[in-house]
A and B are shown apart, each in its own frame.
Chain A
Amino acid sequence: MDAFILSYAVVNGLLQGAIYGGVALGLSLIFGVLRVVNFAHGSFLMLSLYISFWCWSLFGMDPYLSALINIPAMFALGYMVQSVIIAPLIKRESAMVVEPLSALLLTAGVFLVMDNAALMAFGPDVRALQAGYYVPTIVVGGIPISGQRLIAALAAFAVAGGISYWLRHSDMGRAIRATAQNRDAAAMSGINVSSVYAMTFGLGCSVLGLFGALIAPFLPISPAIGLAFGIKSFIVVVLGGLGSISGAIVGGIVIGVFEAVASQFVTATSASIGSLVLFILILIFRPQGIMGRA
């Protein structure tokens, strides 16, 4: 394989990987703080894509502009799911560590309800933002780069950087980190733990709100799209280290570049089997992931 194709593959992998990472950010954040694996992660993205679609289709709203609706809407939904559905579980088991398995089952329930409610409400048809909406493709060194994907990939870096900075330098961010590290100690420091949990869940989902708006212009939208991204996100965050913000981006890029380069040598199917094998090996031998601390 010549150098051009290889560098092309790497560029493709970087773009797609960064988008994977951006989509997975919320999953990692929520796990890091609440120790809850949100099985419904992809469903939130799916819903956010639909919001962007409907805003565009009904009101002609620019999809990038619809982020202004998506972000608060997904925040509110995430906040609600946490405080209405998951909080009672945490409360019931307050004497012990939050049981990750029951939380997983709960979010699996949320996944079933959201995906199929979307199917009932929107029907199974594939939708896509139409034609007219178009960001030009730029060509760098002979390699065409989709403008829309580039924007989404850059946003992934920006959001990851922004969240990391915010976690470090704001009062709420510090409170979130403190709660993640020691829930009881955080409560004893005057932090309202249940509100931090709900905020975190909301924040994690609002990132999906943003990415829904960013990828809606180039991704066909159907109720099933959530699971595709959901499973990818699990792989990405486990690879990068569950709970790590930078890990999500790193994991995304590793998977993106791995699949891009590998699929030049073998079929894309074998490459996706390869990424699953990688995922299992990481879980068994390095469960903290690439960026996680032992």
Chain B
Amino acid sequence: MSKSNWARSVQKVLMAGAMTAAMGSSAFAAEAVKMGCVLPLSGGSAAVGNQTKVGVEIAAKQINDAGGIKSLDGAMLEVVFADSQSKPDVGVTETERVIARENVSVLCGAFNSAVTFPATEVAERMKTPWVVVGSVKDEITERDFKYIFRINNKATYDAREQIDAMDMLKDEFGSGPKTLAMLYEGSDWGRSHAANVKVIAAERGYEIVVDEAAPPNQTDFGNQLLKIRAAKPDAVIVALYTPDHLLFTRQMMEQRLDLPFGVHSVGGGMEDPAFYKALPPEAAFYAFVQEDWQIDILKVSTDPAILSADEATKAALGYGMSAYTAQGISAVYVIADALERAKSADREALRAALAETDIQSGPALVTGYNRIKFDEQGQNTFAHGVISQNIGGERKTMWPKENRAADSTPVWPVPAWSDR
């Protein structure tokens, strides 16, 4: 892994050099369309940023290999990556750089809401369209901005869907949780998710008996697990990033903590492929995961672009597509679609085209949505998460019910550790 990272970096330097040389000497057939991509490539969320980056690269390559943007005489897509380091100020600076210096036509990113929020403001001010990837903070598409579009869920949707799934299972099986524990990472994402869950859970008559935030990079979850054990909730809602989610899950297994209605994760660690590489499969059995794409889409999809994207992801990262990779892919295809319709790399034209987006098929829907169409605030109203349950090591879609495969039946309530 280390080797490939180094190799890639070196390659990049060489490529940059070659490119400068090429630009000096010859003109391109059609001028490439530059798109900026601001992601946390170092810092706390670097792993996620990297997976998204791979998705963006794969999609751009697929489009370019297929002849580029046809309405622009086969113009190539050129992606300029910028590292936000998960820091708002760096993200903003990088956004400025990519817009002013690299002169990109469109931007995407930036995963961390803390970065996306101020960075999209720069884009709005500089009249450059931005396709939000991964950030769920509601306010991002509630500011009457004209240039900001979001394909994925808002945070409040995530919380509602989790509770929806519980309600659905309750109806289906006649039993369900009454008391809930919440364990979440103590930064922006985890905390805002918890706040949303609290509101919706109260509305639907669930009682929150443990409400526990954990600072990132814990070395032990024993104390939190014990607290959950003492409070005896029926289920736990978890919002943790990969390292903490791993530790939590491992310790939960070690400590044989039984919850009748299981673990409901809102993604984070449990949608990271690295998570499943690092644990014995039984550790995550019966866990519910809410993801921003449909994990078993590869089974249903026949789209060659999606299938080859999975192969390409495996080649680049050593594991298959994740929600992050998928979102990266989706964003690029949405942008390409807009470019085709705009017939121009001009920012205004592109903005107009994006606003008109209505995708109902193709690789842009790798995320499992059946449509992508933005409302006047730029939010994709067709966005939804998909909740799967881990059955025998495989995540099988359970919610929405219409996405459920024929052979998928939820296990509800979940068996105790001693019965597994």
Contacts and interface: CB of A to CB of B under 8 A. Distances in A.
Interface of A: 1-2, 5, 8-9, 12-13, 15-16, 19-20, 119-132, 134, 137, 139, 144, 146, 218-220, 222, 224-225, 227-229, 232, 259-260, 263-264, 267-269, 271-272
Contact of B226 (A9, A229, A269): A9
Give the residue among A12, A222, A267, A268 with the most B Cβ atoms within 10 A: A268
B282 to A, nearest CB: 9
Interface stretch (B244-252, B297-305, B397-405): B244-252
Contacts of A130: 277-280
B135 to A, nearest CB: 19
Q: Can you list the 10 inter-chain pairs with the closest CB atoms, starting with the nearest? A: A124-B46, A128-B278, A131-B280, A12-B222, A220-B243, A263-B223, A228-B217, A220-B246, A146-B254, A126-B242
A99 B5 CA distance: 39
Nearest to A131: B280
A84 B242 CA distance: 37
A19 B223 CA distance: 15
Given A119-B46, A124-B47, A130-B277, A264 B217 contact: no
Interface stretch (B207-215, B340-348, B363-371): B207-215
A264 B5 contact: no
A221 to B, nearest CB: 8
Given A122-B2, A124-B47, A268-B224, A137 B279 contact: no
A128 B226 contact: no
B213 to A, nearest CB: 6
A227 B281 CA distance: 29
A218 B253 CA distance: 12
A122 B226 contact: no
Given A12-B222, A264-B223, A271-B223, A123 B50 contact: yes
Contact of B246 (A8, A126, A132, A229): A126
A54 B362 CA distance: 40
A252 to B, nearest CB: 12
Given A122-B2, A220-B246, A267 B47 contact: no
B46 A269 contact: no
Given A127-B274, A232-B219, A260-B223, A220 B281 contact: no
Contact of B247 (A1, A127, A220): A220
A226 B243 CA distance: 13
A227 B217 CA distance: 9
Given A123-B2, A272-B215, 10 more contacts: A9-B223, A12-B223, A12-B226, A124-B41, A137-B255, A144-B256, A222-B243, A267-B211, A268-B213, A269-B214
B5 A122 contact: yes
A117 B198 CA distance: 41
Contact of B6 (A121, A132, A228, A272): A121
A13 B251 CA distance: 14
B279 A131 contact: yes
Given A12-B222, A130-B278, A146 B42 contact: no
Nearest to A8: B226
28 contacts: A2-B230, A5-B229, A5-B230, A12-B220, A16-B220, A16-B222, A120-B6, A121-B2, A123-B2, A123-B46, A124-B41, A124-B50, A126-B246, A127-B274, A130-B277, A132-B280, A137-B255, A137-B256, A146-B255, A220-B278, A222-B217, A222-B243, A224-B44, A232-B219, A259-B223, A263-B224, A264-B223, A267-B212
Contact of A268 (B214, B243, B280): B214
A268 B223 contact: yes
B227 interface: yes
A122 B223 contact: no
Nearest to B186: A269
Nearest to B43: A124
Interface in B171-222: 186, 211-215, 217-220, 222
Contacts of A16: 219-220, 222
A272 B394 CA distance: 37
B1 interface: yes
A139 B226 CA distance: 15
B198 to A, nearest CB: 14
A134 B279 CA distance: 10
A121 B42 CA distance: 12
Nearest to A11: B222
Contacts of B215: 268-269, 272
A130 B280 CA distance: 7
B42 A269 contact: no
Nearest to B241: A126
A232 B49 CA distance: 28
Contacts of B223: 9, 12-13, 259-260, 263-264, 268, 271
A134 B281 CA distance: 12
Contact of A219 (B5, B49, B50, B247): B247
Contacts of A126: 47, 242-243, 246, 272, 274-275, 278
A3 B251 CA distance: 22
A125 B256 contact: no
B213 A269 contact: yes
B209 to A, nearest CB: 14
Given A5-B229, A128-B278, A131-B281, A123 B222 contact: no
Contacts of B5: 120-123
Contact of B250 (A139, A218, A267, A271): A218
A20 B278 CA distance: 23
B384 to A, nearest CB: 27
A20 B186 CA distance: 22
Nearest to B9: A120
B217 A225 contact: yes
B281 A264 contact: no
B227 A15 contact: no
A265 B213 CA distance: 14
B251 to A, nearest CB: 7
A8 B2 CA distance: 41
Contacts of A125: 1, 47, 50, 274
B372 to A, nearest CB: 29
Give the residue among A127, A137, A220, A264 with the most B Cβ atoms within 10 A: A220
